[in-house]
Amino acid sequence: MKTHLPLDALVFDPQAKYIYIGRDGRDVVWSFYNHHRSANALFYQVINDSPGRIGPALDPPDPDIRNYFLTWLARDGFPLWSYWEG
């Protein structure tokens, strides 16, 4: 079973074997940057106007991918979720 759920959301069975696979952070940020820069105005409208949304508005990414990467590192997964917190 493949899942993106955190461990505490899964039913633990001592008879089962669990394999955890994590992605290299560099791969995560490059993939996310590609999605982020490909987003259109409707995407940003839907995200930013979602009822009950918490946090600052999601803006288009910094066009300088190096700055984007350094900001992602410095702000732990900015602009969305933490890379280190599960």
Report the number of distinct structural domains present in the chain.
1
Residue 10: inside a domain: no
Residue 62: inside a domain: yes
Round the average pLDDT of the chain to a whole number and report it.
88
Residue 36: inside a domain: yes
**Interval 21-50: pLDDT, tens:** 888 888 988 999 999 999 999 999 999 999
C-alpha closest to that of 80 among 63, 62, 64, 59:
59
Confidence label for 8 from pLDDT (cuts 50, 70 and 90): confident
Residue 44: inside a domain: yes
- pLDDT of amino acid 69: 92
- pLDDT of amino acid 11: 83
Residue 28: inside a domain: yes
- Which domain range does residue 76 map to? 24-86
Residue 18: inside a domain: no
Residue 12: inside a domain: no
Residue 76's φ and ψ, nearest 5 degrees, are 50, 65
